A and B are shown apart, each in its own frame.
Chain A
Amino acid sequence: MPDLPELNPVVHGRLRLALLSLLSGVEKAEFTWLRAQTEATDGNLGAQLLKLEEAGYVAVEKKFVLRKPQTLYRITETGRQALTEYVQALKQLLGPAIDA
């Protein structure tokens, strides 16, 4: 895989990429909604979201709604930029093969 190192490794992980893509289309999303969309386990999802948070790509907001804890995630500007650059890099790597 000679071209893969050019891709951002934090974004490239399949679940992390799915999470960033999901969050790019919404303002905020709950942990349970992200879990339902990705069909990931709680542990794996939490771990990947933590990696994205540590990279500064997502921000977390915790609050209580009707006494129930709610964890909301949103993509940051840095995360959006990273996703955009990742897509551009993907397109460059694929080149003419993109339409094949």
Chain B
Amino acid sequence: MQDHTTEQELKDRLSLIESMIAEGRRKTESWGWTFVLWGVVYYLAIAWSAWGHSVWAWPVTISIAVIVTVVVASLKGGNHPQTTLGRAIGSIWIALGISMFLLFLALGLSGRLTDQHLFVAVISAILGMANGASALILRWKVQFACAVVWWVAAVTTCFGPDAQSMIVFLVAIFLCQIVFGIYGMITQERKMRGPIHA
């Protein structure tokens, strides 16, 4: 190691390894749009079921949202590499989507989607679980705050009148889907514009 060029070359190799490993783990996908999309879908389903009183409101809107999410995600996915972390987070949300689709389809078709308090409590608890699990894996405090909001909504909707339950649900959707989704998109955009190599 007396040759300075060699020493520099070896340091460059170490630097290259570090920057490439970091690049491989760099999360380039942006999932903020899915939160916004699903927030809008919840609002549409609520409006449809409130004014139209249709048992099809939730099954239809959830089905369309699942299809749109899958199609847009596959188009946006491009050639991003698979990572264990990405697969873990993706699995949580896919499982959530399947659970909600089956639950609301069955409840809607059976005509038992009538207890608003129970409905809001269940959907809020499911969303709290998914956000909480995702936040703990990613160590993302902002998403954990969303999980807390959903859990609070799940509990508070069990008490008080119908109007209070609906307001809590609408506020939780706005904060945890719309606002969090836009925040996610902005932060991902900033990361994408940041320096790539050390």
Q: Which residues of A contact B (CB under 8 A)?
A: 1, 3-4, 12, 14, 17-18, 21-30, 32-33, 36-37, 83, 87, 90-91, 93-95, 97-98
A5 to B181, CA, bound (A): 52
Q: Which residue of A lies closest to B3 (CB)?
A: A1
Are B23 and A25 within 8 A (Cβ)?
yes
A-B contact count (CB 8 A): 79
**Residue from A22, A24, A26, A87 in contact with B82 in the complex, judged by beta carbons closer than 8 Å:** A26
> Inside 8 A of A32's CB, which chain B residues have their CB?
79
Interchain nearest-CB distance for B156 vs A (Å): 41
B65-93 Cβ-contact flags toward A at 8 Å (1 or 0): 00000000000000111111001000000
Are B80 and A33 within 8 A (Cβ)?
yes
Looking at the complex, which of B8-16, B115-123, B159-167 is the stretch in contact with chain A? Answer: B8-16
> Inside 8 A of A90's CB, which chain B residues have their CB?
10, 13-14
- In chain B, residues 1-60, which have Cβ atoms closer than 8 Å to a Cβ of chain A? 1, 3, 6-7, 10-11, 13-14, 16-18, 20-25
Interchain nearest-CB distance for B173 vs A (Å): 33
Are A93 and B25 within 8 A (Cβ)?
no
Interchain nearest-CB distance for A10 vs B (Å): 14
Q: How many of chain B's residues have a CB under 8 angstroms from any CB in A?
A: 24
> Inside 8 A of B22's CB, which chain A residues have their CB?
25
Q: Main SS of chain B's interface residues?
A: helix
A22 to B80, CA, bound (A): 12
Interchain nearest-CB distance for B90 vs A (Å): 12
Are B24 and A23 within 8 A (Cβ)?
yes
> Inside 8 A of B7's CB, which chain A residues have their CB?
94, 97
Are B13 and A22 within 8 A (Cβ)?
no
Are A27 and B81 within 8 A (Cβ)?
yes
Are A12 and B13 within 8 A (Cβ)?
yes
> Inside 8 A of B81's CB, which chain A residues have their CB?
26-30, 33
